[in-house]
Amino acid sequence: MKKLINDPATVVRDMLEGVVALSPATVLLTDENVVIRSGLLDPEKRMVAVLSGGGSGHEPAHAGYVGAGMLTVAVAGDVFTSPSTDAILAGIRAAAGPAGALVIVKNYTGDRLNFGLAAELARAEGIPVEIVVVADDVALKDTVPDDRRRGIAGTVLVHKLAGAAAEQGLPLQEVARIAREAAGKLSSMGISLGSCTLPAVGRPGFVLGDAEIEVGLGIHGEQGVRRMSIASADELVNLVLETIEADGRLKSGDRVALLVNGLGSTPPMELAVVARSAVARLEAKGVVVERAWAGTFLSALDMPGFSLSVMHVDEAMVNLIDAPTDAGAWPRGGAVNRNRVLPSAGVKKSVTAEIRITAAGERLRSAAERVARALIAAEPILTQLDSVTGDGDLGTSMVRGAEAILALPGESFADVSGGLMAMANAMRKAIGGSSGPFYATGLMRASRHLAGIEKPTAPQMAEAFVAAVLAVSELGGAKPGDRTMIDALHPAAETFRDKLAGGASADVAWRSASAAGIAGAEATTSMKPRLGRASYLGERAIGHPDAGAVAVSIWLEAIGND
């Protein structure tokens, strides 16, 4: 497993030095892996210090939450290993004054032992210390007593409330009370799509099948309480929230804060999908989501997956959540949008007389269906080709366009011009990226070329084809030889027109045009790309045909297969 590290033995220190280098509000102790808020007042004037920490590998926790209004100190152990008692004590000594220190601990044996002993040693030195233990993992509700549940991502919310309370100058007992109340109102649960890899080990902690996931796991690469088959994001969110409900912690009328947490390698796109589902599910139950965030807040190295944390809140807690902080990893904001949909300004449809479908329009509809079905069947090969030299989305893009064409009502093909325009609009709406605009532009140009012609002749169709290819070339700037779809389109259109001009029948001319397009697509194999994403590869793209040109060759052949 490849990792961007220097040495597993120094990875924690290297990481902390990087975090501090990018956060002017923090400093790093010289002899311990302890990050401290910079610019602290003289000890006698200091407010309550808020400390937390644990094993590394949970970034941005915990060092990312050091700053005014959140943590005063973050203590980092080795990867997935509790920090030493001495490191924790060094953090307490460096940050706490007579006002004392609040220590927030996730409910793991090593953390409880080392943070607990450090607190005792600090008290023996005359430093007031309170400990709050977070045990928010509801996945263990049927496995262990409540006080033995793990502390996972919801701990970050406790950091925020405690830090805001301390920043207001509240005494230690009150800051501790607020933190304990927050921890007691907190429920979390995680789902993993795969394992993570420790830098010193170099291999995953467990192996899942392609269709398997782990449900109810902690944050140290361990397996969950059970394994199940992969399901949709909506179904997985429902599973987590149903578990929280079954624990008696969620009902209609509750006010909550929601944390959608990525476990390390979950893309923002997927976290947004999870957030959408979680907010909708809670609102449908009558729960008021006062604040919500989606991102990676407390990870398990590079684990793919997510956790949901739901914390019951009142107005005072919301105010503490909203209080300012300069901790770099805290996302700010969190207000939930209550008006999320704006109706589109649609085009008003006029009432028209019954539409008569021409014979030419019917032939176009039949050809369009053949094209669509051929492109759907070709999705695997188009995806594979585009993955080599592009971004791999051409196959699915062509499928979306094909399905949009198949969904067009029959009256869309009343005549050839109208049918081409209907296909242009369908492709434009169904396909993003570059393919949609290219095909829509070409079809629109051909439609305008044939406007008002009920029975277009083969030469007129050929001229419309040439005009369409010219429109695509003008839009993208491509010319023959640039290794694009033009290398298949241009010879096909020119051949069709020239063969007809030479006296060939429409069928013979089209077979020649199709052969020319196929040859043009094959010729791109030896071309160096000059446009598009393939151009970034330069000569590395040589040896593979252009996927867009191959797609053209597929539908050219499909048109002739009547």
Q: Provide the residue type at 264 as one letter.
A: G
- What average pLDDT does this structure show over 343-369? 77
Which of these ranges, 164-168, 205-209, 318-322, has the smallest mean pLDDT?
205-209
> Half-sphere exposure of residue 522, counting CA atoms within 13 Å on the CB side?
6
Is pLDDT at 73 greater than 70 in this prediction? yes
Share of the chain above pLDDT 90, in %: 83
- Please report, for residues 106, 258, 454, the alpha-carbon distance to residue 184 in angstroms, rounded to integers and kept in the order given: 13, 15, 75
Topology annotation, domain 359-560: 1.25.40
102: helix, strand or coil? strand
CATH architecture group of domain 10-195+211-218+225-322: 3-Layer(aba) Sandwich (3.40)
For residues 192 and 303, the answer to whether their CB atoms sit within 8 Å is: yes
- Whole-number pLDDT of residue 352: 52
pTM, whole model, 2 decimals?
A: 0.81
Higher-scoring residue by pLDDT: 342, 448 = 448
Q: According to the model, what pLDDT value does residue 533 have?
A: 61
Task: Report the pLDDT value the prediction gives residue 349, as an integer from 0 to 100.
Answer: 55
Q: What is the DSSP letter of 65?
A: G
pLDDT of residue 347: 55
**What average pLDDT does this structure show over 302-328?**
97
Question: Helix or strand or coil: residue 531?
Answer: coil
Cα–Cα dist 303/305, whole Å? 6
* Sign of the torsion formed by the C-alpha atoms of 105, 110, 113 and 117: negative
Residue ranges per structural domain of the chain = 10-195+211-218+225-322, 359-560
Distance of CA 525 to the CA centre of its chain: 34
**In the structure, what pLDDT confidence band is assigned to residue 522 with cuts at 50, 70 and 90?**
very high
Say yes or no to pLDDT of 351 above 70.
no
Q: Please say if the pLDDT value at position 346 is more than 70.
A: no
What does the block give as tokens for 55? 């094993």
Q: What is the pLDDT of residue 117?
A: 97
Strands 186-192 and 212-215: antiparallel
Q: How many helices (H) and strands (E) does the chain have?
A: 17, 12
Active site residues: 220
Residue 257 in this model has a pLDDT that exceeds 90: yes
Give the mean pLDDT of the chain: 93
- What are the b/e assignments for 233-265, b being 16+ CB within 10 Å? beebbbebbebbbebebbeeebbbbbbbbbbbb
Tell whether the model's pLDDT for residue 350 goes beyond 80: no
Q: How many CA atoms lie within 13 A of 404 on its CB side?
A: 21
Cα dist from 153 to 91, 258, 272, whole Å = 22, 11, 17
Peptide bond into 380 cis (omega under 30): no
For residue 239, what are the contacts with CB-CB under 8 A and spacing of at least 6? Answer: 191, 215, 231
SS (H, E, C) 224-273: CCEEEECCCHHHHHHHHHHHHHHCCCCCCCCEEEEEEEECECCCHHHHHH
